A and B are shown apart, each in its own frame.
Chain A
Amino acid sequence: EAGVAQSPRYKIIEKRQSVAFWCNPISGHATLYWYQQILGQGPKLLIQFQNNGVVDDSQLPKDRFSAERLKGVDSTLKIQPAKLEDSAVYLCASSLRPAGQQETQYFGPGTRLLVL
């Protein structure tokens, strides 16, 4: 079974530029998550999708971050414009059912973003 795929693996941009990350979840997983992991901290949930609908985006900085999952499969996370404090690893995860139902989340390798 293929795991969660993410691209690119690394990205370096200058502040105020835009950047986009892509995620393809495990086949058949209805729930998709984006996390931000700042160096030295645990991952923090940014947004959760159930199929193509948003379930939880309470911690997404909506003035600069956006995400979509148009066909209920793969997803894109965008930052525009980027700030220095956005430097982090962006993790995508998926699960068969929504979190909170004893579901295991499966994580991709992450995209490491450096904003200069």
Chain B
Amino acid sequence: AQSVTQLDSHVSVSEGTPVLLRCNYSSSYSPSLFWYVQHPNKGLQLLLKYTSAATLVKGINGFEAEFKKSETSFHLTKPSAHMSDAAEYFCVVSGYGQNFVFGPGTRLSVLP
């Protein structure tokens, strides 16, 4: 069975400061991991994905995530937050023959 834990339901940062959204996963298989972002009243947009290539994955809008197998983590980071980054972020695990399993989401607030 697969599962995803997003350790913070809400993260608040000031504009221009770093962002860290935490994700831990459980999978019986070699996992594929994704981060999606959901802006209010919008669909889910892919930020980045890990599929067993490089452990440090770069995505859109300056986001990146590092796959750490020993820690079963896939935390999302960004060096400098922008107001437009305020949204809901979902960590997703998948595996061979397995469907997507979403985490509960982390709401990111960016303060001016």
Contacts and interface: CB of A to CB of B under 8 A. Distances in A.
Interface string A8-46: 000000000000000000000000010000001111110
Contacts of B4: 42
Given A100-B94, A101-B96, A102-B51, A44 B43 contact: no
Contacts, number: 58
* B contact residues, range: 20 to 34
Secondary structure dominating the interface of A: loop
* A contact residues, range: 20 to 34
Nearest to B90: A42
Contacts of A56: 99
A73 interface: no
A3 B41 CA distance: 16
Contacts of B103: 42
B107 to A, nearest CB: 9
A41 B107 CA distance: 11
Contacts of A42: 4, 90, 102-105
Contacts of A48: 99
A41 B49 CA distance: 21
B27 to A, nearest CB: 11
A93 B105 CA distance: 18
Contacts of A4: 43
Nearest to B50: A102
Contacts of B95: 100
